[in-house]
Structure 1
Amino acid sequence: MPADLWNFALACYARPGVEQVFLRLQDSGADVCLLLCALWLERRQVPCEAQRLAQLRAIAEPWQRQVVQPLRELRQGWKAAALLDPQQARLREQVKALELEAERELLGRLEQLAQKWQATDEAVAWLETLLEDRDARELLRVAATQT
């Protein structure tokens, strides 16, 4: 398993079926970066505590709202026009790259907070606090164990 959250996220996202699940969850309002962090913490066996989850949310929610979401909305809003305009398509790809960089920054901030948290020998369950979809949780956990 990659030690850092960014490389863990890349490896997990590349597993079969994960991208589709994350896109579906994202479309329904889930914070994919927070879910990836939760998976990473589960794999590292860091206990899930309400205070820790609140700290992660305090970092993730404003960043998602102020940085990632506006970039995503701009990129998605240009989708149809970019099919007809090569220059806009090029700009849309740049916005997409900036959106990904914003997500990378968020993952870095989440990791910086969480990396000092101590692991335990017991199984931990972060995803239950963030995701109701049992099938999605199972698929994501399987993918995480294969990274």
Structure 2
Amino acid sequence: MHTDLWNYCLHLYARPGIEHACLELQNRGMDVCLLLCAAWLQTRGVNCDEGRLTQLQDCARPWQRDVIQPLRHLRMQWREAAAHDETLATLRMQVKTLELEAERTLLLRLESLTRQWLPGQRAQTCDWLRELARLAGQPDCDTLQALRAAINHA
């Protein structure tokens, strides 16, 4: 098991079906960095509660809103035009690199926030993914269940 969040995410994201599930959940408005952090916390056996969920959201929300989403929007906006303009395609790839670095930075911030959260003493921890989906106003959909299944088999 990878003990740091970034390497855990790289390992998990490389598994079959994870990228597709994450992109679909992202298109539904979910924060994939938060979901991957939740998977990491679940794997580590860390108990979740409303306070911790709020801390995660408070850490992620401004960075997503002010840094990651504007980069993603710009990259997506340039998709079609970049297919016909080599210079724009190069710039688009640079924006994509910045977007990935911004996501990595958020994951490092989330890891720093949660590093002291030790595995729980309860016999059963809550389902981090379901709780984050609930707080985001999203149903526990098939895609989220597929992501959960892939995590459990990682």
TM, length-normalised to structure 1: 0.95
Two-structure CA RMSD over aligned residues (Å): 1.2
Q: Which residue of 2 aligns with 1:142?
A: 149
Contact 2:25/2:144 (CA < 8 Å) preserved in 1? no
Rounded to whole Å, the distance in 1 between the matches of 2:19 and 2:25 is 10
Q: Which residue of 2 aligns with 1:123?
A: 124
Rounded to whole Å, the distance in 2 between the matches of 1:109 and 1:146 is 26
Shift of 1:142: 2.6
Shift of 1:118: 1.4
**What stretches of structure 1 of length at least 5 have no aligned partner?**
none
Rounded to whole Å, the distance in 2 between the matches of 1:134 and 1:83 is 34
Shift of 1:134: 3.9
What secondary structure does 1:84 align onto? coil
TM, length-normalised to structure 2: 0.90
Percent of residue pairs identical: 52
- Where do 4+ consecutive residues of structure 1 move more than 4 Å? none
1:66-108 CA distance string (max 9 Å, x none): 0000000000000001000011101100100100000000000
- What is the identity, as a one-letter code, of the residue corresponding to 1:129? E
Shift of 1:144: 2.0
- What is the identity, as a one-letter code, of the residue corresponding to 2:142? D
Shift of 1:18: 1.0
Rounded to whole Å, the distance in 2 between the matches of 1:142 and 1:7 is 19
Q: Which residue of 1 aligns with 2:16?
A: 16
